[in-house]
Structure formats: C-alpha cells, structure tokens
Amino acid sequence: MRAFSQFSEDTMDENSAGSEESQVQAEERRPSLLARFFKSGDLPYPRRIAYGIGHVFNDLCASMWFTYFLLFYHLVLRIDNTDAGLLVLIGQIADALTTPVVGHFCDNTSNRYGGRKTWHLIGTGMVACSLFFFWHECIYCSMQPMKYQILYFSCFIIVFQAGWATVQVSHLSLIPVLTSDKSIRVELNSIRYAFTILSNSGVFIVVLVLLSSVNKSSQITPNDQWLFSGTALGIIVVGLSFVFMFHVGTKEPSNGGHGSAASDQPTNNRLPWYRWFLNPKFYLVALIYMSSRLIVNLTQVYSPLYMIDSLKMYRSSVAIIPLVIYFSGLIATFFMKRLNEFVGRY
C-alpha cells in the first residue's frame, strides 16, 4: 500500500509539474499586449487609426465652411446677403455633381498606389490650393464691381467643393476594401467619427480663443479678416499633416479598384447603378438622410449669423454656441440605442 501510495503521489507531482510547464509555455507563446496591438485581425490598430485620420482635413474645412462662411462674407467682406447665399449654393451644387462622378472613378481606377488613395490625394490638393482664397478678400478685384468678385470667389469655391467631395467619397469607399470583417468596418466608422468630433471642436475652440483674446470689439468687423484667413492657413497646415500620416499608414489592396477580395461579394453580383433608382428603399433612405442633414446644415449655417446680426450677442458666442450644440448632439448619441429600442416597440 505504501508503495502504491508513493507511486500515486509521484504521478500526481509529475502531472502537476507537466501542467505548470504547459501553462508556462502557453504564456510564453501568447503574444504581448503590444504585439496584439500591432497584429489585430486582418487590419492592425495602427492602420485603423491611420485610416480614421484621413478625413480630418475635410472635417476641419467643413466646420469652417458651414459655421462661418455666411458670417465672414456678410460681416467681414460686406457682401450682400443674396450674393453670399449664391456662393453657398454654387458650392453645394458643385459638391452634388462631383460626388457620383468621383464614386464611379474610385470604383474603376486601379494602380500600384491604390485608386482610392490616388483620388484622395487629388482631392486634397484641390482643397489645399483653394481654401485660403475664399477666406480672404479678392486679391486683385477687391475694388472692382461685385460681379467680378462673385466670379473670383465662385471659381475657388467650385474647386474646393469638388475636391472636398472627392476626398469624402474616396475615403469612405476605402472601408469595404480594407477589410471584410463587419465589426472592423463599424470600428473604422467610429474612429472616423471620433476624429470628426475632435476636428470640429478644435476649430470652435481656436476661433473662440482668437475672438476672445484679440480685438476687444463686441462685434465682428472687417478688421477681423486676418482671424479667418489665419485660421484657414492653420487648417491647411494641420490638415496636410494628417493627410500625410493617412497615406503613409494606410495600404490599399492592389485589387481594390475592381471588386477587391475584401469585399463581401464579387463585382459581377453588384447591382448596376441604374437599378438603385428602381428600389423604393433607396428613396426612403435618401429622404430620411436629406431631412436630417437639412436640419443640421440650417442650424450650423444660420445660427452664428442670427446670433450676431439679429440678437446682437457678443462675438465669442459664434464659437461657444456651436460648440455647445455639437457636444449636446454627441451626448444624445449615447441614448439613441435605448430610444430606438423603445420606439421600435410601438
């Protein structure tokens, strides 16, 4: 019995030692946290972040465009309300016409660098070359009749809006090309939106600091032109820095332009573009999105001018109020899931 007991104890000790050794080996084989960070699925986290910052330049520009364009042209450049509204309309039409065209070329462009990244680079160049010129008085025609100034600004605005749409479409269309994992696609969108929040907030904070610390006038005047021009130059510098990091850190698959392997379905199974117009859900989604964007754009475009021109509020309000509105909307998104679940029951 003693021999059997001794044998059992020895066996248990060997098994225990073997188990501990296996655990140690498993721990040694398990990649470190840093290794898992750089090798996470089919798209490492650094590349996800690199993708997310690819729209920062556009977000910075959009924040300035929608929030301060009418304010700048009406109170700083002293351009008539109708002409300022016409310039906004021209820009939005250019955006609308460019978007589907760029979408077509993004899907049908393939090269070693990446078709979508190529169009992203082209759009960035258009935005960078035109942004400053419509945030500054007409360099050669400030004393000329208004029709020449409108023509001058229209040219740069059209180039800017076409470039902006090119960057937006090419960047967004990269998501299904970079990964076929739906959870990673959602994460890429979330990272993209997070940088949108930071970009808009950054613009509002910079404008708030400049309006509060320089020129103690309570209202915005033509003397504040340098403030908006300087902000535009700063946006170009910061935006191009993020574009550089995006292009260095994002690798587009070589077959991304023609039904990439990352896509959920092959190209020949996709609907032709004209078939979308026969789908009732297409119009429903378009109507819902257009209505929501209409409310957001109207609020963002007209609130600053209304606060200064009608309510005669202090100049810093054009940065504080948009910042409050933006963060209020951000906080509301955290409750949308529960609200959708509740409303969906009835």
If you ran DSSP here, which 8-state letter would residue 79 be given?
Answer: -
Using the structure block, give the residue that is written with the tokens 């959009």: 62
For 75-112, give one letter per residue: b (16+ CB within 10 A) or e.
bbbebeeebbeebbebbeebbeebbeebbebbbebbee
Segments in the chain forming alpha helices (H): 2-29, 33-38, 45-52, 56-71, 81-107, 115-130, 146-172, 175-178, 182-213, 225-249, 280-305, 317-333, 336-343
Label residue 334 exposed, middle or buried (CB < 10 Å: 0-12, 13-18, 19+): exposed
If you ran DSSP here, which 8-state letter would residue 309 be given?
Answer: I
pLDDT for res 182: 85
Condensed to tens digits (0 to 9), the pLDDT of residues 218-242 reads: 788 888 999 999 999 999 999 999 9
Q: How far apart are CA 149 and CA 137, in angstroms?
A: 9
User: pTM above 0.85?
Assistant: no
Q: How far apart are CA 263 and CA 144, in angstroms?
A: 54
**Domains of the chain, start order:** 43-261 (1.20.1250.20)
Residues 6+ apart with CB under 8 A from 7: none
Cα radius of gyration (the chain)? 27
Condensed to tens digits (0 to 9), the pLDDT of residues 97-147 reads: 999 999 989 888 888 899 999 999 999 999 999 999 999 998 888 788 889
| CA dihedral angle for residue 204, residue 207, residue 210, residue 216, rounded to 10 degrees | -100
Q: How far apart are CA 58 and CA 134, in angstroms?
A: 16
pLDDT for res 27: 47
Answer whether 134's CB lies under 8 Å from 157's CB: yes
Label residue 225 exposed, middle or buried (CB < 10 Å: 0-12, 13-18, 19+): middle
Among 12-16, 85-89, 95-99, 204-208, the range scoring the smallest mean pLDDT is 12-16
